[in-house]
Structure 1
Amino acid sequence: MRGLLLTVLVLANIATALLIVRNRHEHRQAFVALTRLEKARDTLNIEFGRLQLEQATWAESNRVDQVARVQLGMVFPRTEDTVVLRR
């Protein structure tokens, strides 16, 4: 009886140790995946900041005005060309 109890306790101890090893391994894998994802997030945040800066540059009013004048040949209407409609 005593030998059976000792065997059960030893087997339970070994099973617990194996479960701890498995859990630590899974934890390490999850941590590596988390680190990889954080690095990808940081890279994407940097790229997003660059794209926001580029968008702000392209949308700047002086640039839009220059493109309208040079490429599209647009000009501001003269006062005499302006018509006001009233009801």
Structure 2
Amino acid sequence: MKLLAALAFAALLVADLVSAIGVVWARHESRVLFVELTRLQNTRDELNVDFGRLELEQATWADPGRIEQMARSQLGMVNPPPEDVELIQR
């Protein structure tokens, strides 16, 4: 009977140790994943700032006034004279 009680005690002790190690491992993994999540959120925020800056830059480059100015100065484009304009109706 004492042998059976000693084996049961040993089994419970091993189960307790395994459970404790499992809890420590799970908490460690949780912390590692939280750090990774925080890093990814910071990266996302930085990318959102860059995206907003690039959208503003694109809007600046695509401004119709700027495009017209570039067409006139670099390409030598001009508005056609009124006699060369033809209106087409559907």
Structures share fold, TM-score greater than 0.5: yes
Distance in 1 (alpha carbons) for counterparts of 2:84 and 2:69 = 22
Which residue of structure 2 lines up, in the alignment, with residue 21 of structure 1?
24
Please list the CA deviations of residues 6-57 of structure 1 after superposition, one character each: whole Å capped at 9, or x if unmatched: 1111110010000110111111111111111111111011001000000000
* TM-score, scaled relative to structure 1: 0.91
Report runs of 4+ in structure 1 exceeding 3 Å deviation: 83-86
Corresponding residue to 2:66 among 63, 66, 87:
63
Q: Post-superposition shift, 1:83? A: 4.3
Q: Which residue pairs with 1:72 in the alignment?
A: 75
Aligned-pair identity (%): 49
Find out whether 1:54 has 2:63 as its counterpart: no
Match of 1:31 in 2: 34
Identify unmatched segments of 5+ residues in structure 2: none
**Structure 1 residue 2: Cα displacement:** 1.0
